[in-house]
Amino acid sequence: MIEHGPLLERLLAGEFVCPISDESGYRHLTNEETREEIDTYLRPLNRRLASNEDGSVYFLAWRQLNDNARDQLSRQLGDTLNSLLPLLEWLQLVQEALGRDTLAAPGDVLKPAEFSAKCEDNQSLRERLERLATDSFFGSQSEQLDAQVKQVFKRLKEHGYLLQPHAERQVFVVTGKIDYLVDLVRFIRDEENLPIEEGSEEGSGSQEALL
């Protein structure tokens, strides 16, 4: 158990462990025996190891859902929902600004400078970034583009969606928590029966037209 100390600490601190955020920790967690050991250790803390459906991220869940846990979860859910739209809009903005046709995925490298440059050249991207950065979730007070971008990346790093491998270098890597976010969005869509298409080719034309 001793060797899993740092991993346990990260998990207890509420971090999401994925191959990007902690490669060796994640590798240990893919071992069922290790997972059971950790679960046993967490039992008195009323926590257990959980993962998303694909098993691409691990995090801690409540073992017993008592009233306190439910209160905490409700608050957390509220926070998540408040930050959901800004996060989704950021994902879209990155995709468009960098001219990609896929969503930022775990392991993707993002450079704030590149992002700023793209937004600088394009008035509509610039405006969208401005709106996003001043949203209460990102909370930028600045009118400077670079400062806004910096703040957005900083907040995403604080929330565990991005990782900055070198503190002095402005290069970020997308973590597996993005997978969790996408799973959560899919879950909400399914639970609330929202009219949002996802899969088939047929739907794509009409949906693109709508968007």
Torsion sign across C-alpha atoms 12, 13, 19, 25: negative
Strands of the sheet with 162-163, listed across from one edge: 109-110, 172-174, 162-163
Tokens of 25: 């920790």
| Window contacting another protein (CB under 8 A); options: 82-90, 116-124, 127-135, 138-146 | 82-90
For residues 26 and 179, what is the distance between their CA atoms, to the nearest angstrom?
Answer: 15
Closest CA to 111 of 164, 174, 170, 154: 170
Binding mask 13-52 for another protein (x = CB under 8 A): xx------------------------------xxx--x-x
Least Å distance, CB 72 to another protein, is: 5
Q: Are the C-beta atoms of 60 and 47 separated by less than 8 Å?
A: yes
User: Residue from 92, 134, 164, 170 that binds another protein (CB under 8 A)?
Assistant: 92
Least Å distance, CB 30 to another protein, is: 18
User: Residue from 40, 72, 142, 144 that binds another protein (CB under 8 A)?
Assistant: 72
Return the number of the residue (25 or 150) whose C-beta is nearest another protein.
25
Contacts of 152 (CB under 8 A, 6+ apart): 90, 129, 132, 133, 138, 140
Q: Which residues of the shown chain bind another protein in the complex (CB under 8 A)?
A: 9, 12-14, 45-47, 50, 52, 59-62, 65, 69-70, 72-74, 76-77, 81, 84-85, 88-89, 91-92, 95, 101-103, 105, 180, 182-189, 191-192, 194-199, 204, 207, 210-211
